[in-house]
């Protein structure tokens, strides 16, 4: 038994209402920003927290 | 609507997991290639600039040589080859198969090239404390098994004048990352020329530091260390 099917959206438009190309651009922007944030701040911070073999660096970071 | 949010969240977690996994793979295996290449470059510049036979101090007079060396140390740019080092037990090389080229400076960026010399510490063979930092894991892990050093082992350091200095292993200690006294002028409190190696502890974590101390076996030369207290070193680093 099948119910009535949903009306299909106009060509080039998704169910959310935004045109497909806008969604694609948004996705690319989000990915680029995420990668930039990861490589600029997150990964260097993780490396500093887990791979720093020097002495005294934490004193420099500590609030005074 | 809820289903879409859950699906989006699921994808976000999957992608995040993949990114973290790739990052760990990069850190554990691929950073080593970067360091290998840097060490090759340092070796090349070392062979071009450092004499095979040690420079005789008498040639220019002891004072002139010390002054020239001080000048050269100051001029040596950050990241340049500062020294070469290796470890020996009964004449056999241990800890690393290859000679490690030590860079001038000890920032995390510079340590990607290999072990790094704390700029305010003494020069090789100096009457004070020569301090060197190195990665325990990642970036070639030059100090991975430095904890295996025992009594009778020696740490060999060749300076930019081509002179080889031997340090006898003395002891190792686990300290907090803030214990800057270990890179100070006289960490053993015995007024003897020393070498201090600092690295991460435990492996893969920077929660603590493993410190290896050695004592100079040869006749020391004039110190070029700044003679600053650990607090002054921190203040200077801040500037």
Cis peptide bond N-terminal to B5, omega within 30: no
pLDDT of residue A1: 47
CB count, 10 Å around CB of B143?
26
Average pLDDT of B27-44? 92
Residue B30 buriedness (CB in 10 A; 0-12 / 13-18 / 19+): exposed
What band does B59 get if pLDDT is binned at 50, 70 and 90? very low
Q: Could you tell me the pTM of the whole model?
A: 0.79
Q: Do A55 and B182 touch (CB under 8 A)?
A: yes
Give residue for tokens 């001038």.
B104
CA of B158, closest CA in chain A: separation in Å? 22
**Is residue B10 within 8 Å of B17, Cβ to Cβ?**
no
Share of chain B above pLDDT 90, in %: 55
CB count, 10 Å around CB of B42?
22
What band does B62 get if pLDDT is binned at 50, 70 and 90? very low
| Helix/strand/coil percentages in chain A, nearest 5 | 60, 5, 40
Query: Is the model more confident about B44 or about A62?
Result: B44
How far is it, in rounded angstroms, from Cα B223 to Cα B16? 51
List the single best residue of B177, B207, B213 to mutate versus A (max A Cβ within 10 A): B177
Q: Do B200 and A51 touch (CB under 8 A)?
A: yes
Q: Which residue of A has its CA nearest to B135?
A: A53
pLDDT of residue B44: 93
Q: Do B178 and A52 touch (CB under 8 A)?
A: no
Give the three-class secondary structure for A33: helix
Lowest mean pLDDT among B1-15, B37-51, B75-89, B178-192: B1-15
pLDDT digits (tens, 9 = 90+) for A9-52: 555 555 568 899 998 999 899 889 988 998 899 888 888 888 89
Cis peptide bond N-terminal to B202, omega within 30: yes
Q: Which residue of B has its CA nearest to A60?
A: B238
With the C-alpha atoms ordered B51, B56, B61, B62, is the resulting torsion angle positive or negative?
A: positive
pLDDT of residue B58: 46
Question: Quick check: A57 contacting B, CB < 8 Å?
Answer: yes
Query: Is the model more confident about B225 or about B204?
Result: B204
Beta strands in chain B (DSSP E): 81-89, 92-94, 100-104, 116-117, 129-133, 154-158, 164-175, 194-201, 208-216
pLDDT of residue B229: 57
pLDDT of residue A64: 40
């Amino acid at each position: 038994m099948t119910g009535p099917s949903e009306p299909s959206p106009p060509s080039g438009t998704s169910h959310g209402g935004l045109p497909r190309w806008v969604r694609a651009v948004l996705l690319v922007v989000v990915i680029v920003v995420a990668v930039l944030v990861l490589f600029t701040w997150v990964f260097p911070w993780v490396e500093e927290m887990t791979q720093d073999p020097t002495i005294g660096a934490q004193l420099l970071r500590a609030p005074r | 609507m809820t289903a879409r949010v859950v699906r989006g969240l699921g994808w976000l977690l999957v992608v995040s997991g993949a990114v973290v996994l790739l990052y760990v793979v990069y850190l554990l295996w691929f950073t080593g290639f970067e360091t290998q290449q840097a060490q090759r470059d340092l070796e090349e510049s070392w062979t071009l600039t450092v004499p095979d036979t040690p420079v005789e101090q008498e040639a220019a007079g002891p004072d002139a040589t010390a002054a020239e060396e001080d000048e050269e140390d100051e001029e040596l740019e950050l990241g340049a080859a500062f020294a070469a080092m290796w470890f020996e037990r009964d004449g056999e090389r241990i800890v690393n198969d290859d000679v490690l080229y030590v860079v001038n400076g000890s920032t995390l960026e510079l340590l990607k090239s290999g072990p790094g010399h704390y700029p305010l510490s003494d020069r090789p063979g100096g009457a004070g404390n020569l301090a060197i930092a190195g990665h325990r894991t990642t970036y070639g892990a030059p100090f991975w098994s430095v904890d295996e050093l025992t009594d009778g082992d020696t740490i060999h350091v060749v300076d930019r004048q081509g002179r080889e200095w031997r340090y006898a292993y003395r002891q190792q200690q686990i300290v907090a990352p803030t214990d800057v006294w270990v890179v100070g002028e006289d960490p053993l409190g015995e007024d003897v020329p020393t070498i201090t190696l600092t690295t991460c502890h435990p492996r893969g974590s920077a929660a603590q530091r493993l410190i290896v101390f050695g004592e100079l076996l040869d006749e020391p030369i004039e110190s070029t260390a700044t003679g600053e207290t650990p607090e002054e070193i921190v203040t200077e680093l801040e500037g």
